[in-house]
């Protein structure tokens, strides 16, 4: 055990001191809010014993509907955001497009107004914040966690209820695991005129309209601040409740057979079948096969279709609630759009490219899964973490809905003025043997089509960051980013920037040609017309940033929405001159596999077309 670990207090010993400090800081913030007639932020950080992030994210469901998990590649950093001290939101419509645009973002950038307005609101909220974070650890103190919609101009459908154009939460409790230590940050936002139940008991009148709905505030640019009612209760009492939860979660995470995982432990290795084969998961079940006739791109009625012998969606009357390995039995899988609609959409894209209207467009599809029992997001997260250590693992829970995934693509990281991003474009499968894998990698690196698709992203990132960076390093040649079932061309880009924040950089960068296409405005218009459904937070920026505007955002691809026994999985591909619709269908099938397998979908389960 390291000296630092010996000095870390046990959770039980923190209850009294944390409760007293939170009450003390809350009283100071209440006075500050009253004098300044504006909200005041309190943030208090302490070191703590080690905790399992996924076990904690799961266990917190008994106490809050607001939960988020963020785990960086290799387990270098993990965050669990629990509860909501405050929520900053921007919805669709005129308010979402109001406010000053980010300099250099251009009128075609969909977040050009929302992201800078959010940054401004967050900076204003944190002005004069009472911060007690003596350790100075990156990712502690006032930190908001959340995401943006891919395209705020796109009308959101019911699937994305609760996931508006922008939504970032200042958690009541943030657990940060990094650098060999674990830290707990307790946050509060005190709004003028809103008092706690304890203060009302002492004779202080309640604010008009506070009731059980909390309190609100509106910032310029249409950014709304909401302080939930639960976050206006006595600060010390809330702190004690959170510490009690942590104590239970820490015990569960250490219990043999609990399924707890350590993101800082050894990386998951490919299964015995080689790089393209998934290892057996819980209960001895393997992941999905590579895309093909029996994979996620299979034709309707293919062997292995769950349900009755007839193979029609939802027709299996003998399905049991759980199949092998304890996973729910699959009742149906529907591709949206179906294969015919997909080929028509790609044909239209290739026509537009041939006419010179587009250089590239990224088109996505979804797979709707229905099971006999609820899917298990916690188990899915553990399998993703073990199988894809090179990826960002994330989950955002809103009531019964969970948006989760494993993305290999960082959009931006900003720390101490150093900015990092990466071009990830150009893809192929992994080989079943080392020799086949190496051959596929050589083919990818030598492909003119894939190299040009990748170069388009690199040029956009260089041209976008160049004006705001004092130094910008762009390697001349891409390298390989090899995941378990797919490999990509990859170019990391670093620079030094002055005076920019993560949201402002997001406004410049999103969407890159790897997620939307090029030219940006025309590509977005094509997507709105042809995809036939809202992307919501899929392929959009998701992550965190602190009161200084530093933090990290990834692109939420290889992701899906889980709601009880239903799941909607998303995947996309870049269409350029020379693209083949059939091959692109198979590429998206390959990208659907990680999350589908993590949710326990049977190997060989096919898709059916939109018409069912």
Residues 352-379: tens digit of each pLDDT: 999 999 999 999 999 999 999 999 999 9
What's the pLDDT tens digit per position in 133-174? 877 899 999 999 999 999 998 888 899 999 999 999 999 999
Least Cα distance to 111 among 529, 482, 555 occurs for 555
Confidence grade of residue 319 (pLDDT, cut at 50, 70, 90)? very low
pLDDT at 607: 60
* Residue 30 confidence (pLDDT) above 50: yes
Helices (H), 466-580: 502-509, 520-530
pLDDT at 94: 39
Longest CA pairwise span in the chain (Å): 77
* Residue 259 confidence (pLDDT) above 60: no
* Residue 92 confidence (pLDDT) above 80: no
Q: For residues 186 and 279, which has the higher predicted lDDT (pLDDT)? A: 186
What is the rounded CA–CA span in Å between residue 190 and residue 188?
6
E strand map for 222-310: 223-227
Q: Which residues of 376-389 are buried (b: 16+ CB within 10 A; e: fewer)?
A: bbbbbbbbbbbbbb
pLDDT at 267: 33
Q: Are strands 541-546 and 551-555 parallel, antiparallel or unpaired?
A: antiparallel
Lowest mean pLDDT among 147-151, 268-272, 461-465: 268-272
Cβ proximity of 363 and 521 under 8 Å: no
Cβ proximity of 221 and 274 under 8 Å: no
* Residue 605 confidence (pLDDT) above 60: no
Q: What are phi and psi of 410, to 5 degrees?
A: -80, 135
Cβ proximity of 59 and 248 under 8 Å: yes
Cβ proximity of 57 and 80 under 8 Å: yes
In the predicted model, what is the mean pLDDT of residues 526-548?
Answer: 95
What is the rounded CA–CA span in Å between residue 26 and residue 191?
11
What is the rounded CA–CA span in Å between residue 181 and residue 78?
11
pLDDT at 445: 96
pLDDT at 252: 59
Confidence grade of residue 270 (pLDDT, cut at 50, 70, 90)? very low
In the predicted model, what is the mean pLDDT of residues 584-608?
Answer: 83
Structure tokens at 523: 């590509």
pLDDT at 326: 61
What's the pLDDT tens digit per position in 103-125? 555 546 899 999 999 999 999 99
What's the pLDDT tens digit per position in 281-305? 333 333 322 222 233 443 333 222 2
What is the rounded CA–CA span in Å between residue 127 and residue 33?
11
pLDDT at 274: 32
Q: What are phi and psi of 551, to 5 degrees?
A: 160, -155
Confidence grade of residue 180 (pLDDT, cut at 50, 70, 90)? confident
Q: What is the mean pLDDT of the chain?
A: 81
In the predicted model, what is the mean pLDDT of residues 436-440?
Answer: 95
* Residue 257 confidence (pLDDT) above 60: no
* Residue 263 confidence (pLDDT) above 80: no
Residue 345 CA, chain-centre distance (Å), reads: 27
Q: Which residues does 109 contact at the CB level (< 8 Å), separation at least 6?
A: 101, 102, 507, 508, 510, 520
As annotated, the active-site residues are 360, 409
Q: Would you call 240 exposed, middle or buried from its count of C-beta atoms within 10 A (0-12, 13-18, 19+)?
A: middle
pLDDT at 282: 31
What is the rounded CA–CA span in Å between residue 168 and residue 537?
13
Confidence grade of residue 96 (pLDDT, cut at 50, 70, 90)? very low
Percent pLDDT > 90 in the chain is: 60
Cβ proximity of 170 and 142 under 8 Å: yes
Least Cα distance to 4 among 259, 181, 261 occurs for 181
3-state secondary structure of 187: strand
pLDDT at 241: 87
pLDDT at 610: 42
Lowest mean pLDDT among 224-238, 331-345, 486-500, 528-542: 224-238
Report the interhelical angle of 520-530 vs 339-354 (nearest 10°): 150
Least Cα distance to 417 among 465, 451, 368 occurs for 465
Q: What are phi and psi of 185, to 5 degrees?
A: -115, 120
Structure tokens at 463: 């041209």
Q: Sign of the CA dihedral 510, 515, 519, 525?
A: negative
pTM comes to 0.84
In the predicted model, what is the mean pLDDT of residues 511-520?
Answer: 95
pLDDT at 91: 72
What's the pLDDT tens digit per position in 44-90? 999 998 899 999 999 899 888 999 999 999 889 999 999 999 999 99
Q: For residues 536 and 194, which has the higher predicted lDDT (pLDDT)? A: 536
Structure tokens at 153: 């101009």
E strand map for 105-242: 130-132, 143-148, 166-170, 173-178, 181-190, 215-219, 223-227
What is the rounded CA–CA span in Å between residue 429 and residue 252?
38
In the predicted model, what is the mean pLDDT of residues 546-559?
Answer: 97
pLDDT at 262: 41
Cβ proximity of 568 and 334 under 8 Å: no
Confidence grade of residue 325 (pLDDT, cut at 50, 70, 90)? low
Helices (H), 172-234: 197-201
* Residue 520 confidence (pLDDT) above 70: yes
């Amino acid at each position: 055990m390291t000296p630092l670990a010996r000095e870390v207090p046990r959770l039980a010993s923190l209850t009294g001191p944390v409760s007293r400090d939170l009450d003390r800081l809350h009283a100071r913030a209440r006075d500050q809010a009253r004098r300044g007639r504006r909200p005041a932020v309190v943030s208090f950080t302490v070191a703590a014993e080690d905790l399992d992030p996924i076990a904690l994210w799961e266990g917190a469901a008994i106490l809050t509907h607001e939960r988020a998990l963020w785990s960086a590649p290799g387990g270098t950093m993990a965050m669990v955001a629990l509860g909501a001290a405050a929520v900053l939101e921007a919805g669709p419509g005129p308010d979402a497009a109001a406010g000053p645009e980010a300099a250099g973002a251009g009128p075609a950038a969909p977040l050009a107004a929302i992201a800078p307005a959010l940054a401004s609101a967050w900076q204003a909220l944190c002005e004069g914040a009472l911060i007690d974070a003596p350790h100075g650890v990156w990712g502690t103190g006032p930190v908001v966690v959340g995401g943006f919609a891919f395209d705020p101009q796109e009308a959101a459908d019911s699937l994305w209820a609760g996931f508006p154009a922008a939504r970032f939460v200042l958690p009541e409790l943030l657990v940060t695991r990094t650098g060999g230590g674990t830290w707990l940050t307790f946050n509060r936002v005190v709004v003028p005129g809103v008092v706690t139940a304890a203060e009302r008991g002492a004779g202080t009148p309640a604010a008009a309209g506070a009731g059980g709905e909390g309190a609100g505030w509106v910032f310029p640019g249409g950014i709304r601040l909401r302080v939930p009612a639960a976050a206006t209760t006595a600060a010390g009492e809330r702190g004690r409740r959170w510490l009690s939860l942590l104590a239970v979660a820490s015990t569960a995470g250490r219990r043999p057979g609990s399924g707890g995982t350590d993101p800082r432990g050894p990386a998951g290795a490919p299964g015995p079948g080689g790089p393209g084969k998934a290892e057996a998961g819980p209960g001895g079940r393997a992941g999905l096969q590579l895309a093909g006739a029996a994979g996620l791109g299979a034709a309707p009625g293919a062997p292995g279709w769950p349900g009755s012998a007839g193979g029609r969606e939802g027709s299996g009357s003998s399905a049991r609630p759980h199949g092998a390995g304890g996973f729910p039995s699959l009742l149906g899988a529907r591709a949206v759009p179906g294969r015919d609609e997909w080929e028509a959409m790609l044909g239209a894209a290739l026509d537009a490219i041939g006419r010179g209207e587009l250089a590239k467009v990224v088109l996505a599809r979804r797979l709707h899964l229905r099971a006999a029992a609820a899917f298990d997001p916690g188990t899915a997260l553990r399998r993703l973490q073990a199988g894809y250590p090179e990826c960002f693992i994330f989950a955002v829970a809103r009531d019964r809905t969970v948006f989760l995934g494993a993305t290999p693509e960082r959009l931006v990281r900003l720390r101490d003025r150093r900015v990092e991003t990466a071009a990830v474009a150009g893809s192929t499968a992994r080989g079943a043997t080392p020799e086949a894998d190496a051959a596929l990698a050589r083919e990818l690196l030598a492909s003119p089509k894939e190299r040009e698709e990748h170069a388009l992203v690199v040029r956009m990132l260089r041209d976008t960051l160049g004006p705001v960076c004092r130094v910008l390093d762009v390697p001349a040649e891409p390298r390989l980013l090899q995941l378990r079932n797919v490999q990509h061309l990859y170019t990391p880009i670093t620079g030094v920037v002055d005076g920019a924040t993560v949201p402002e950089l997001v406004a410049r960068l999103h969407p890159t040609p790897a997620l939307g296409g090029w030219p940006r405005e025309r590509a977005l218009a094509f997507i709105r017309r042809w995809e036939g459904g809202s992307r919501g937070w899929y392929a959009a920026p998701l992550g965190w940033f602190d009161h200084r505007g530093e933090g990290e955002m990834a692109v939420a691809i290889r992701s899906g929405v889980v709601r009880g026994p239903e799941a909607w999985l998303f995947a996309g591909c870049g269409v350029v001159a020379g693209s083949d619709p059939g091959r692109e269908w198979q590429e998206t099938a390959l990208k659907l596999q990680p999350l589908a397998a993590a949710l326990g979908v049977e190997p060989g389960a096919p898709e059916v077309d939109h018409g069912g």
